Structure 1
Amino acid sequence: MSEAEAAGSLSRRRMEDEEGAAAMEADAAHSGRGEAEDEEVESSDYTSEDEGTEDYRRGGYHAVRVGDSFKQGAYVVQYKLGWGHFSTVWLAWDTVHSRYVALKVQKSAQHYTEAAMDEVKILKQIADGDPDDSKCVVKLLDHFKHSGPNGNHVCMVFEFLGDNLLTLIKYTDYRGIPLPMVKEICRHVLIGLDYLHRTLSIIHTDLKPENILLVSTIDPTKDPRKSGVPLVPPSMRTDEPPPKVPAQSGNGGLTKNQKKKIRKKAKRAVAATSEGSSAVASADTDGSDDRGDLGTTNEGSPRQDGAKKRVTRDRRGSKGAKKMMAMKADLKCKLVDFGNACWTYKQFTNDIQTRQYRCPEVILGSKYSTSADMWSFACICFELATGDVLFDPHSGDNFDRDEVYLFFLHSLFFFLGHLLYFSWNCIQERKRITRIPDYKCTLI
């Protein structure tokens, strides 16, 4: 690899703190987790639901639309699955093999193309060593290049899988799943990691719930293989121009997240000044009103009270139904998204892992190996069992999040060290007591 290629590999592998290159999932960020979204503006202007339009330009995303055909009609796009910083992912129908597949369309800039080819190399190595499909790692089925208005895009075709583990956590309302289920999931994850680490010397470097997919959907009605939804036929149109980038408004160059925060504040202000408005209640995140009777004639009407009760009952029923589906889900899963993977003997950058799953050696800027994945795996185990992340540090005026994270680790290890020391002393004391001779006492 030349110096230019090495520099390109290094730069393209750099990840933003809250952003990964999610290749096979529809929830690319930890949306709805505490106040993380409100506390800081993400480095990108995108939300977790939409990649935005700014990167639909030369060197960026390809404007994929439902019904589009790829590779001379071999793959027909059905609908969107998700997006990442590097690519968009689509459900497609494989007309040659009559099956659903996941089609990943990479951005077309040179460094994204090089990153995609590195990923293809790793994925081909994974597929070649697993002909029986027993190693719990996603299968690359095909790859090719597609030419469009924004350039040439590397496309990868994967087996179609189900929901990611973050969706499973959401279905249980962030309350955690039973430990037997956690153990079953961990068994499949460890099979995949053992195969990557010991057999192939590959480090995933971005292991998190979003990058572990169940083999089937939690809700059977959302599985296109079972729902009986008719296939979208290939469209007859030629390539259309990409979506237009909206004109810059005179708002001082605010990002989408900043605008979103302003809108939230505006809604709260309206709620405070217009308590009697029914529109305010519908704008609430959970749709419920904890303030009781507001003293207005409309709010006190039996019709609206009955509607509120029905909405609350339906919502509770929906949560209960989701939890039941989660408890019955097929827990077989596979590791996905190797856009940031590397080999133990050939690493591209020291800036790896999403923050909540980042190991101490990476934070300290030290060398890392396969143990980095094991740290992330342990964090995932905790999150599955409890529904919450183990580490989620926040910055302050005089310290950054890495310093908070390291302080927490220091405190944790200090506590564990004292606990081990205390346990060791107890064991030694017990041994000493058991060595005391058993003297016989005679009553006089």
Structure 2
Amino acid sequence: MSKLLLITAIRNTLSKTYNNSHARTSSNLSVIVHRKNYTEPQHRYEPGGYHLVLPNEFYDRRYQVVRKLGSGRYSTVWLVQDTNDQSLAAMKVLVGDLSISDKKGGWDELGILKVIRDKNPQSFGYRHVCQLLDDFTHEGPNGNHICLVLEAMNLSVLDIYRSIPGAMAIPLLKRISKHVLLALQYLHEECDIIHTDIKGDNILMTGTPPEEGQLEIELKDSYLKSTTFKLSDFGAANAMANRFAEVIQPESLRSPEVIIGAEWDTKADIWNFGCLIYEFARGAKLFEPHWDNENSGMNPTQTLLSQITGLCGDFSPEFINRGRKSKLYFNDQGSLLRGAGKYTITLEDLLSRAGHSPKEVCETANFLSHMLVTDPKERWSAARLLHHPWLKSVGLHLRYSV
């Protein structure tokens, strides 16, 4: 057994009770979702931090707070009712520091959302992005807080994934993939925006948010075949004209160009998304930077590069030369200084352990192989991926043509 395969096997043992018979490859996609309650760190209710929001309060003399939906590092999110038309929306209240120019560090979620909202509402991808409905600034004891009023959405894809013992059903995975790629095509080609943080909890489903305290929810087959998946949370997004962030993406989903310090663009999102789709298809992460660091003597970046080259092959000399950090990891011959040849595995080998049919394994691996290309110049775009045969069957249950 290769060490990369061993990584996957151990992660399955530690994080999931899994065996191949649990792979959900049938046409019945119904899922029982088990939700968890998360609470933001209370010490962040301080100057420059969170704003204390209470149910039944009014904001901007229009939005009445119904209940809390969630929280993140830089915001809390609340279900509100628009008293103008009684519709529901999600109000994202950013921490106070994000309203101060010299503390934002280049982040501009509001500006990004306005571009997405206004660029081309007629685009197919437009309806697969969680849209900004309104915005205002609220003054509170911890500072001025930018408030983003967004579409109210249902559960996330991460909620589904965490509730499945093993791999996600391929038909469902295809639907998610097509919808997110439509969103990325719109962002990349029409808005010139890179999301930079594509994760399961940033892909949401249309529908009314769960009731407060509702921790077990059945998502029926008919719902999963008709819901629209939307890409959300643009707090870390960069405009192509202002790629201010030096390091982007979750560590295990980080693209090779970002790792070696080469220039990155919209193709970084494609690598990120490919790693995520593999994880859903396999039931475990593709790469684990912190695997066996103590015994191997390698740091997480060295481990990650070793795993990437073991799966995708050696980096080309031309690509290595584009990275300002390359000399930290590669010698003059283009070989890794640490971990060369340590891992060897293929996508087909890994996916075959998930219980999918041989045909599904082959087709899924081929689809992923066009996203998991080390050189971004050779990596497929979202538009090109949308024409891949793996996605041909998606659209039969859609309410509009894609």
The TM-score range, normalised by the shorter chain, is 0.5 to 0.7
1:142-181 equivalences under 5 Å are: 142-173=134-165, 175-181=166-172
Partner secondary structure for residue 93 of structure 2: strand
Partner secondary structure for residue 162 of structure 1: strand
Partner secondary structure for residue 337 of structure 1: coil
The counterpart of 2:307, out of the listed 381, 389, 408, is 408
1:355 aligns with 2:346: no
Alpha-carbon offset, residue 35 of structure 1: 6.1
1:309-388 equivalences under 5 Å are: 322=218, 325=220, 328-329=223-224, 330-388=226-284
Residue number in structure 2 paired with 1:399: 298
Look at both structures and tell me which one has the larger radius of gyration over its CA atoms: 1
The counterpart of 1:89, out of the listed 58, 72, 77, is 77
Residue number in structure 1 paired with 2:121: 131
Cα distance in 1 for residues equivalent to 2:58 and 2:123: 28
Report the CA distance shift for 1:416/1:367 in structure 2 as closer, same or farther (over 3 A): farther
Alpha-carbon offset, residue 108 of structure 1: 0.7
Cα distance in 1 for residues equivalent to 2:103 and 2:148: 12
Partner secondary structure for residue 81 of structure 1: strand
The counterpart of 2:183, out of the listed 186, 192, 205, is 192
Cα distance in 2 for residues equivalent to 1:338 and 1:87: 12
Alpha-carbon offset, residue 328 of structure 1: 4.5
Alpha-carbon offset, residue 383 of structure 1: 2.0
Alpha-carbon offset, residue 413 of structure 1: 2.5
Q: Is the 8 A contact 2:96 2:145 kept in 1?
A: yes
Cα distance in 2 for residues equivalent to 1:83 and 1:346: 27
Alpha-carbon offset, residue 372 of structure 1: 0.4
Report the CA distance shift for 1:384/1:180 in structure 2 as closer, same or farther (over 3 A): same
Alpha-carbon offset, residue 368 of structure 1: 0.6
Report the CA distance shift for 1:403/1:199 in structure 2 as closer, same or farther (over 3 A): same
CA deviations 1:168-209 (Å, max 9, x no partner) are 112323x22221221111111111000111111111111111
Q: Which amino acid in the other structure matches residue 312 of structure 2? A: F
Report the CA distance shift for 1:362/1:188 in structure 2 as closer, same or farther (over 3 A): same
Cα distance in 1 for residues equivalent to 2:53 and 2:103: 17
Q: How many aligned residue pairs are there? A: 278
CA deviations 1:242-268 (Å, max 9, x no partner) are xxxxxxxxxxxxxxxxxxxxxxxxxxx
Partner secondary structure for residue 388 of structure 1: coil
Q: Is the 8 A contact 1:61 1:107 kept in 2?
A: yes
Alpha-carbon offset, residue 364 of structure 1: 1.4
1:119 aligns with 2:109: yes
Report the CA distance shift for 1:387/1:35 in structure 2 as closer, same or farther (over 3 A): closer
Q: Is the 8 A contact 2:120 2:190 kept in 1?
A: no
Partner secondary structure for residue 153 of structure 1: strand
Report the CA distance shift for 1:53/1:111 in structure 2 as closer, same or farther (over 3 A): farther
Partner secondary structure for residue 182 of structure 2: helix
Q: Which amino acid in the other structure matches residue 149 of structure 1? A: P
Please, what is the CA RMSD of the aligned residues? Answer: 3.1
Q: Which runs of 5+ in 2 are unaligned?
A: 1-10, 16-35, 314-343, 349-402
Q: Is the 8 A contact 2:107 2:235 kept in 1?
A: no
Cα distance in 2 for residues equivalent to 1:350 and 1:393: 19
The counterpart of 1:66, out of the listed 39, 51, 55, is 55
Partner secondary structure for residue 85 of structure 2: coil
Q: Is the 8 A contact 1:116 1:154 kept in 2?
A: no
Partner secondary structure for residue 192 of structure 1: helix
Cα distance in 1 for residues equivalent to 2:157 and 2:94: 24
Alpha-carbon offset, residue 116 of structure 1: 9.4
Q: Is the 8 A contact 1:358 1:376 kept in 2?
A: yes
Alpha-carbon offset, residue 98 of structure 1: 1.2
CA deviations 1:72-130 (Å, max 9, x no partner) are 2x111111111111111111111112111010001112259747982111111111124
Partner secondary structure for residue 410 of structure 1: helix
Q: Is the 8 A contact 2:75 2:93 kept in 1?
A: yes
Cα distance in 1 for residues equivalent to 2:159 and 2:118: 30
TM score, norm. by length of structure 2: 0.63
Q: Which amino acid in the other structure matches residue 165 of structure 1? A: V
Q: 1 or 2, which has the higher strand percentage?
A: 2
Report the CA distance shift for 1:377/1:368 in structure 2 as closer, same or farther (over 3 A): same
Q: Is the 8 A contact 1:86 1:112 kept in 2?
A: no
Report the CA distance shift for 1:115/1:161 in structure 2 as closer, same or farther (over 3 A): farther
Cα distance in 2 for residues equivalent to 1:167 and 1:112: 36
Cα distance in 2 for residues equivalent to 1:115 and 1:130: 28
Report the CA distance shift for 1:213/1:113 in structure 2 as closer, same or farther (over 3 A): farther
Partner secondary structure for residue 380 of structure 1: helix
Residue number in structure 1 paired with 2:28: none
